[in-house]
């Protein structure tokens, strides 16, 4: 596998992807004794970090190849990102989604001009069917995470963080990253292990849907039973042969699992104290930090708020505090 270069990727995607703010959270800092910064990825054009990887991948494809049409699969945020970038670049795209995807997200994806294919089963089943269709039709498949160019694009978030971190913050002690298929934490980790090797990379999962966590424990991709979670955008299994398994084994220093109650409480807290409206997945990283905050007193930490495309039911629960 080639060496990933998130610095070059950041230059490539810059005309299409926002540099999202890195905001100091006075409330979380005062409550925990750490210097807490929030990376506001939910303010991306598509409402989540996924635009980074999608942009890097599509801009790296030969135009004649992409013009044949793209195929992807997603639990929502990756689909929005690929459809958005494909629309900007003039490429047709077919997106496979699980039947579990909320109708609001389905409608939003279709409004971007993508052809939608709804698949019975979970998000992993949609991924597997999408890859088969791409192979059969000889069209490029844009994986949500199992692709070095996508991972390289996600790593541009860490390039921004190191540039944005104020001098008074000192060294970056840790970054908390909600983890699904491992593309985001893989990209962040690969960059930071070179650029800021003392920074600890913390993988954060919901207890109800810890697929990659259990795969890492097993040392291989396995089927992991899941229960319903507020972190819908990270739910689902890991594709067999996923490169993120080895990457995450190399870069993740600590892991934290959080309950559904902790996810909801974290999202409510950030809305109340910092004015940020999050999807459940973003609440996972905040909850993981709060659960382990005593370990980071006196240090600077970054919590990646990975997305804000909340399902209506979760958004209502957050407001019912």
For residue 60, name the pLDDT band (cuts at 50, 70, 90).
very high
Whether the per-residue pLDDT at 89 is higher than 60: the answer is: yes
State which fold the 50-149 domain adopts: Rossmann fold (3.40.50)
Average pLDDT, the chain: 96
Locate 24 and state its tokens. Answer: 């100091």
pLDDT (mean) for 65-75:
94
| pLDDT tens digits, one per residue of 95-131 | 999 998 888 888 999 999 999 999 998 888 999 999 9
Crossing angle (nearest 10°) for helices 244-251 and 183-195: 40
Gap between the Cα atoms of 285 and 263, Å rounded: 8
Gap between the Cα atoms of 34 and 295, Å rounded: 9
Fold matches, 6-48+150-319 and 50-149? yes
Whether the per-residue pLDDT at 175 is higher than 70: the answer is: yes
pLDDT score for 122: 85
Whether the per-residue pLDDT at 3 is higher than 80: the answer is: no
Whether the per-residue pLDDT at 321 is higher than 80: the answer is: no
pLDDT (mean) for 200-221:
98
pLDDT (mean) for 75-84:
93
Crossing angle (nearest 10°) for helices 280-292 and 260-274: 90
Gap between the Cα atoms of 257 and 172, Å rounded: 22
Locate 64 and state its tokens. Answer: 């004649």
- CATH class of the structural domain 6-48+150-319: alpha beta
Gap between the Cα atoms of 186 and 6, Å rounded: 11
What residues does each domain of the chain span? Answer: 6-48+150-319, 50-149
pLDDT (mean) for 183-194:
98
Q: Which of 29-38, 120-129, 160-169, 291-300 has the lowest mean pLDDT?
A: 120-129
pLDDT score for 1: 57
pLDDT (mean) for 151-163:
99
| pLDDT tens digits, one per residue of 260-274 | 999 999 999 999 999
Instruction: Find out whether 307 and 278 touch, Cβ atoms under 8 Å.
Output: yes
pLDDT (mean) for 171-177:
99
């Amino acid at each position: 596998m080639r060496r990933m270069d998130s610095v070059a990727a950041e230059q490539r995607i810059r005309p299409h992807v926002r540099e999202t703010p890195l905001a100091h959270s006075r409330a979380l800092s005062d409550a925990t004794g750490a210097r807490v910064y929030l990376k506001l990825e939910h303010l991306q054009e598509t409402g989540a970090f996924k635009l980074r990887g999608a942009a890097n991948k599509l801009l790296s494809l030969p135009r004649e190849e992409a013009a044949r049409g793209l195929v992807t699969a997603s639990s929502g945020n990756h689909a929005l990102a690929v459809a958005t970038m494909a629309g900007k670049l003039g490429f047709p795209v077919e997106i496979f989604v699980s039947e579990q995807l909320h109708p609001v997200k389905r409608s939003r994806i279709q409004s971007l001009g993508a052809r939608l294919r709804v698949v019975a089963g979970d998000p992993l089943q949609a991924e597997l069917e999408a890859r088969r269709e791409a192979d059969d039709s000889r069209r490029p498949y844009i994986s949500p995470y199992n692709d070095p160019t996508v991972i390289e694009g996600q790593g541009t978030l860490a390039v921004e963080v190191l540039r944005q971190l104020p001098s008074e913050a000192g060294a970056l002690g840790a970054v908390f990253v909600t983890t699904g298929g491992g593309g985001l934490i893989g990209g962040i980790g690969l960059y930071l292990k070179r650029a800021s090797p003392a920074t600890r990379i913390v993988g954060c999962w919901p207890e109800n849907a810890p697929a990659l966590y259990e795969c890492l424990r097993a040392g291989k991709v396995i089927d992991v039973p899941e229960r319903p979670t507020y972190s819908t955008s990270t739910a689902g299994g890991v594709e067999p042969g996923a490169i993120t398994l080895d990457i995450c084994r190399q870069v993740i220093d600590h892991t934290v699992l959080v309950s559904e109650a902790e996810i909801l409480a974290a999202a409510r807290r950030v809305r109340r104290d910092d004015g940020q409206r999050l999807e459940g997945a973003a609440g996972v990283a905040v909850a993981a930090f709060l659960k382990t905050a005593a370990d980071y007193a006196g240090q600077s930490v970054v919590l990646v708020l990975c997305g804000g495309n909340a399902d209506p039911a979760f958004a209502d629960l957050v407001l019912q505090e």
